[in-house]
Amino acid sequence: MNFFITGTDTGVGKTHLTRLMIDSLRALGCNAVGFKPVSCGDRADGRILAEVSGNLPLDDVNPLHFASPVAPYVAALLENKSIDPATLVESYRNFSEGRGTVLVEGAGGWEVPITENYLISDLAKDLGLPVILVAANRLGALNHILLTLAAIKAKGLTCAGIILNQLEDEMDTPMITNKGILTSLTNTPVLDHIIHNQDFLSPEIMDVLMA
C-alpha cells in the first residue's frame, strides 16, 4: 500500500520519518521508495529520498523543483513558471508503476498552495492515498494536529496514523502528555512518539505500512 506523508507544518521531520520508513521496509525486503512531487529551496529532501530508495535518479523522485525556499505557488510566481497539477499526478502514477510501497512526501503542511486554486491537500485527494500525519511534539501540537485531522477528513481521506516527532532532547509537560491526550480525543492511532534523532520505528508503524 502507498501512503501520503504530510505534516502539521514545515520543519516537523517529514523527510526524516519518510526515510526511516523506507529504510525499515527495504530492510525487510520490501521494494519501498520515496516520491517528492514538488520541492522548494535546497533539494536535500529529494536527495535523501532518492538515496534511501536505492539511489534512484533525483529527477524521478523529485520531478518538480524550485530554487526559492517558499510555498510552490509563490516560488512559481517568483521564478515566472507555471505548475500543472495534472502533471504532478501523472508523474506519481508513472513513478509508482511496477514498484512496491511508495511513500509520497508533501511540501510543508496540509494546506500549502501549489497554485492559486490547488493545495497540497488537493494533490493528496487526487492521489487518493491514506495519510500519515507527522507533527512536532511540543506545546501547540494538539491544536495543529486536530485541525489537520479535520481537514484530512474534509477531503474524504483517511488518516492512517499520527507520528509525534520529538525535536528537542528535554521534555516538558505538553511533550509528555500529548500522546495520551490525542489517544483520548481522536479515533486516529498515535503510531509512535519518535525521540530526538531516533533511528528506529515502532511495531505499530510497521504494521500500518505492511498491512
Catalytic residue numbers, as ranges: 36
> Residue 165's closest CA among 3, 34, 21?
21
Contacts of 186 (CB under 8 A, 6+ apart): 146, 149, 162
Contacts of 21 (CB under 8 A, 6+ apart): 5, 32, 103, 201, 205, 209
R_g (Cα) of the chain, nearest Å = 16
CA angle at 58 for the pair 52 and 64, rounded to the nearest 5°: 125
